[in-house]
Structure 1
């Protein structure tokens, strides 16, 4: 919560008076280790890591032994089915079937199935006990990757810079190992179609199928998989509605097709004292034997569903498939950072194809397309397409979000005979947005190699585009400072520097680089980024689109982008862009009280309301769009500013949003109601109190004033507002002051007039 200075002032002599502010609805929890116990904590972590790594061979043997007894395809299908299943309620809330099982656990088991020679595959049917072994073991096996990294880090140099660099590299490795989604499913599919279709003709010539064919086929696999799993779960639910053990068996034989025998025969062979719960478990385990059918596909079936020739689908499934035992020679420890099933998520089983997790193909679609393009000799064409696509999508997002803005793609300018170019420049009101599009990505060699390789990634993906946008910002600042050549150069390109009061810089990527863009403090600590450089936030293009969709008022959208850089500078952030968006919805990034309290700020999970909204849409459920947590007065002012669009409307909105968090906004509303009543009674007194002043703790944020006046003083209210602002600036040596005038008789209007005055 902001350490806000809030008070009522007289019309002529603003004197802020502290006021008590309610607790913020946004709650934070501190986690840290007492410095005196750092050694003890470190020793405990090392002991846990040693124990976990020591257990690693036994975990591998457990998995191998389990797969050597039961059918691996059946086990993999059941594991992925429960690991990927969720239930969406009528309000869009999703509940996971097995919250502890994540996609990377499924992919890891998939690889271990392929690591076992087919002659060592078990043939017994799966049982709850055997499946529980896998459900327990796979997360532990995955965790040993993290534990091994702890031990590897312990053996390295104690030099602070080297340790920080290693910590960054490990963070990137963990991100690669565990993070999968680069957008919501519908968004990912649509983006993939738009991105790769221009390569269709050349891919057909090289592979026998196009990118569109591939994406269509993968979509069909995912849709049918979801339908099959849903049908299985629905059938199970209907069976379990039986009220007695005998009733459960009767419903089972009535509802489940192709069963051998009868309910009476089954009951005759079972103990008569079985409870409902015991019978439910038995029937569920028996029905789970059919889960393999959810993941098995035939060439003919897929071709018919996709509306594609069988030879096309055959080529697609062939290039995405491994034969059983294909990874027998692969070292298990390599599977964490470079799992081959990321590029080939299908197992060929003779006449059938096992696709245990079709959605994984879309998680790794960029990797798959990169391989296909490389094999077809289209690596350069793919690189050019990705670059062009990203630049166009970047422009599209801003045109949709800011329809009144002047948009300049490929903004070219010269200085001292040198040519410069910025991918996108957006001018709206008194704001200039400079955006750079970078379609490069983290490489496997960078993830596995020495810190110098990660340093190059930081330079190419984070620092270089940030410097590129900063260069134009410096030109704008020079023009505003009186440099006539700079002003002339900008004017020729459509920018009036004297109206460019706020410059917002960002870098936009095709790949998820949040793990890099959220580590600005560490980069500066080890000298990879100059300490005086404010790094432009790097935002995934699909996330930027989501931000613009949720923040559908241009003031909110621009304010979010503008404040992202300051949040990134103030904290080491743990979370992705949509977590930051969730934090913004709750706080408008009014977090000054937290600066200096902690060097790492974890916001993971803040995206939950946004996730629920999109999951509901995917499930065909209508749900209100998540809204900014603004009090009615603040929401009304922002809406009116965006509608009226008086000169400086963007900055007026920025300063308002930056002055108070939701709890403080509530206190402001209450105080304004009291002030209104006071003004209505005392306005005839020339020295009556008529103004509330709000002074945020950060000097870069403007002081906000609310001036209340009666209808009889309407004619002179703007003059008084200007006088109040000028006096406040002079009295407190302020840089900027914003005044909103409200008429006490026209209280339903958010504001009558708004004024921004800057020093000098």
Structure 2
């Protein structure tokens, strides 16, 4: 077993094979990559100029759609490759060719696109006024902008955008003549229209490949020939040329390759039949006519592609061509915000709606996902030292856990997306550092004031009772609409940039789409609460680089069990490891069903967790459950073995008290079992528990200890008693 397998069960070390297309380029400098970039751009431009560019774009789009997105490979097609093909076609200033492209040449084109994009990234020169870490972060930001897509799933995107845009229906109709929410739904409907055509096309293709009847094969040929002029022109009148059915089939398949533009072409009549006239006009305003971008600097198309704002192509016959209808999900805010420019009243209303919706969505998600929690939106409190009134956006209280969610509806600036160091620093500070500072204030206030802490609802002034007679543990998160995924999911880059220190409070950064994904997959309150407690403290045990899909997949794989010592300080870089969440998932409606996602407990301990969760009278039930879930399953299995042998009367030389521990950062989680022949005195039982917890107390930090009582002749199938102790060692004052 390798060190990685011991430190992070379920994972293995991966050595990426060298890309044969990039052979002999390992030592190239920026100048050499610049030359290669220019040469590949010239080759791509020529390729599209001397062949039918619409057929190339359509086939490239179909290739992207047909590849299984759950199977991550370095060479698999990326959406950006289709985007680049579309913008290069639009920038072509020559009359489009109608020449066909052979399969081998098309494969060569796709490889060249991939190399060209890598050339763009590698040609970026180092500037003398940037530090190494600034250059590295800038490069990662550019990589994110170039390759990373879809901060939402389609379902979540629809929910979020409809929730925001409905709030600005009136100002958008007054400013634009139509409702932006109607336009968004129409753009989503275009996805369905293209998918319907894609289904028809593939059904015809399957029939072409499978049919045993010549008449049906001829019908398929007629369909493809009528779909796009290039297919018809290449085929000519060749149906009777092949007597053998298989020869005819293979020739027909080649012709089908030229017919792909039909899938993505929507006539004006199709759109008029589907949408009101103002919406159709608005859709056409989001289309770009070929050779109409003369003012665009070609160098800017990689990090500021015009099709991110105007995703459709306007054809000469008045049809809309939508090779990437899913751009409305990839860039919903960019597309819709571009239509608001210059309409100040609408822009102000939209900014307010965006902020309001984010807080509302967080509140709804948390309320749904944690039915046992009391959830408060807009919490205010007074700083006793300064008199300053501070606010926290969403606070959820469940048991002795407090989850604080700071909502940041601001956007990442275009300059930051292009890797501008000053913009990156400013965006990082506003969106990803300040939320941790804000929630850290609340945590410090609760820690120092304890029972004297007073919180209230910001809108009504109504007091909030957090039952602070017992110590509460605060977990904080920053929820934004968009962020840089793996670049801002962990704080080590912010630390290396000097934006945070070890003492700076940190709130893990999740996008709204991330939170929606987590709530969808962890549809059991027990698992969700455990995930949030582990996610908030993950960096105390794991130095990682990955986005929230990687982290959630790790939880579903091993419950985020990490052996910090076995990793020996190594940084884990997740690659192609998010397949578990790259699938559809319909969440159960009843979140109180106990399902332990990602954690396999021995049977007795799983039964104990279920019993504890049902016991509303146990005020420490979530504390105790968390202690159980934070232990190593093999150690729990050994404790279960001892308990079962004891209850069967098997003699044992071991003590009647056994315990296991697991450390997360400065916190020790201890789980003890006490095996007795009869019930002990209540005071004696609690005194014993306090002593065990005190023995487990670390030199610095805290301990959370759950102790279970098991009596030999018990009337209970699980345990006979349970207690919980939380001790925090206060730092020594000088």
TM-score by length of 2: 0.85
Tell me the CA shift for residue 567 of structure 1: 1.8
Tell me the CA shift for residue 689 of structure 1: 4.0
User: In the alignment, is the contact (CA less than 8 A) between 1:479 and 1:497 conserved in 2?
Assistant: no
Aligned to 1:648: 620
The counterpart of 1:225, out of the listed 182, 185, 194, is 194
Aligned to 1:701: 668
Aligned to 1:120: 95
- For 1:296-332, what per-residue CA distance to the aligned partner results, in whole angstroms no more than 9, with x for missing partners? 1112212323xx22x2233222221111112344333
How do 1:569-580 residues align onto structure 2 when only pairs under 5 Å count? 570-580=541-551
User: In the alignment, is the contact (CA less than 8 A) between 1:80 and 1:357 conserved in 2?
Assistant: yes
Tell me the CA shift for residue 459 of structure 1: 1.0
Tell me the CA shift for residue 342 of structure 1: 0.3
The answer to whether 1:252 aligns with 2:217 is yes
The counterpart of 1:148, out of the listed 100, 103, 123, is 123
Could you say which structure has the higher helix fraction? Answer: 1
**Is there any run of 5+ residues in structure 1 with no aligned partner, and where?**
4-20, 34-40, 88-92, 618-624
Aligned to 1:11: none
Tell me the CA shift for residue 451 of structure 1: 1.7
Tell me the CA shift for residue 527 of structure 1: 1.6
The counterpart of 2:658, out of the listed 688, 692, 698, is 692
Tell me the CA shift for residue 186 of structure 1: 1.8
* Aligned residue pair count: 693
- For 1:253-275, what per-residue CA distance to the aligned partner results, in whole angstroms no more than 9, with x for missing partners? 144444599x9984763597x9x
How do 1:522-537 residues align onto structure 2 when only pairs under 5 Å count? 522-537=493-508
How do 1:596-635 residues align onto structure 2 when only pairs under 5 Å count? 597-614=568-585, 627-633=597-603, 634-635=605-606
Alpha-carbon separation, structure 2, partners of 1:479 and 1:730 = 24
In structure 2, relative to structure 1, the CA distance for the partners of 1:730 and 1:291 (3 Å cut) is closer
Tell me the CA shift for residue 442 of structure 1: 1.0
Alpha-carbon separation, structure 1, partners of 2:715 and 2:579 = 36
- For 1:338-363, what per-residue CA distance to the aligned partner results, in whole angstroms no more than 9, with x for missing partners? 10100101111132111111001221
Aligned to 1:362: 329
User: In the alignment, is the contact (CA less than 8 A) between 1:521 and 1:571 conserved in 2?
Assistant: no
Alpha-carbon separation, structure 2, partners of 1:546 and 1:28 = 25
Alpha-carbon separation, structure 1, partners of 2:36 and 2:119 = 9
In structure 2, relative to structure 1, the CA distance for the partners of 1:485 and 1:24 (3 Å cut) is closer
In structure 2, relative to structure 1, the CA distance for the partners of 1:759 and 1:471 (3 Å cut) is closer
User: In the alignment, is the contact (CA less than 8 A) between 1:204 and 1:210 conserved in 2?
Assistant: yes
Aligned to 1:104: 80
User: In the alignment, is the contact (CA less than 8 A) between 1:173 and 1:447 conserved in 2?
Assistant: yes
User: In the alignment, is the contact (CA less than 8 A) between 1:373 and 1:379 conserved in 2?
Assistant: yes
Tell me the CA shift for residue 112 of structure 1: 0.6
- For 1:379-399, what per-residue CA distance to the aligned partner results, in whole angstroms no more than 9, with x for missing partners? 221111100000111111111
Alpha-carbon separation, structure 1, partners of 2:682 and 2:290 = 79
Tell me the CA shift for residue 672 of structure 1: 2.1
The answer to whether 1:725 aligns with 2:692 is no
Tell me the CA shift for residue 512 of structure 1: 3.4
- For 1:704-737, what per-residue CA distance to the aligned partner results, in whole angstroms no more than 9, with x for missing partners? 113345xx62x33876754543343344545342
In structure 2, relative to structure 1, the CA distance for the partners of 1:560 and 1:47 (3 Å cut) is same
Aligned to 1:506: 477
Aligned to 1:166: 135
User: In the alignment, is the contact (CA less than 8 A) between 2:543 and 2:572 conserved in 1?
Assistant: yes
Tell me the CA shift for residue 631 of structure 1: 2.3
In structure 2, relative to structure 1, the CA distance for the partners of 1:371 and 1:747 (3 Å cut) is farther
Aligned to 2:258: 289
**601-610 or 406-415, larger mean C-alpha shift:** 601-610
The answer to whether 1:585 aligns with 2:566 is no
How do 1:374-385 residues align onto structure 2 when only pairs under 5 Å count? 374-377=341-344, 378-385=346-353
Alpha-carbon separation, structure 2, partners of 1:689 and 1:98 = 55
User: In the alignment, is the contact (CA less than 8 A) between 1:518 and 1:573 conserved in 2?
Assistant: no
User: In the alignment, is the contact (CA less than 8 A) between 1:534 and 1:565 conserved in 2?
Assistant: no
**Is there any run of 5+ residues in structure 2 with no aligned partner, and where?**
227-231, 588-594, 729-734
Aligned to 2:527: 556
The answer to whether 1:45 aligns with 2:15 is no
The counterpart of 2:431, out of the listed 436, 458, 461, is 461
User: In the alignment, is the contact (CA less than 8 A) between 2:534 and 2:560 conserved in 1?
Assistant: yes
Tell me the CA shift for residue 749 of structure 1: 4.0
User: In the alignment, is the contact (CA less than 8 A) between 1:523 and 1:529 conserved in 2?
Assistant: yes
In structure 2, relative to structure 1, the CA distance for the partners of 1:284 and 1:500 (3 Å cut) is farther
User: In the alignment, is the contact (CA less than 8 A) between 2:400 and 2:470 conserved in 1?
Assistant: yes
RMSD in angstroms over aligned alpha carbons? 3.6
The answer to whether 1:446 aligns with 2:433 is no
Alpha-carbon separation, structure 2, partners of 1:99 and 1:31 = 15
How do 1:339-350 residues align onto structure 2 when only pairs under 5 Å count? 339-350=305-316
Between the two structures, name the one with larger relative contact order (CA 8 Å, sep ≥ 6): 1
**333-342 or 232-241, larger mean C-alpha shift:** 232-241
- For 1:172-206, what per-residue CA distance to the aligned partner results, in whole angstroms no more than 9, with x for missing partners? 22111111111221221222112212222322233
Tell me the CA shift for residue 537 of structure 1: 0.7
In structure 2, relative to structure 1, the CA distance for the partners of 1:573 and 1:148 (3 Å cut) is farther
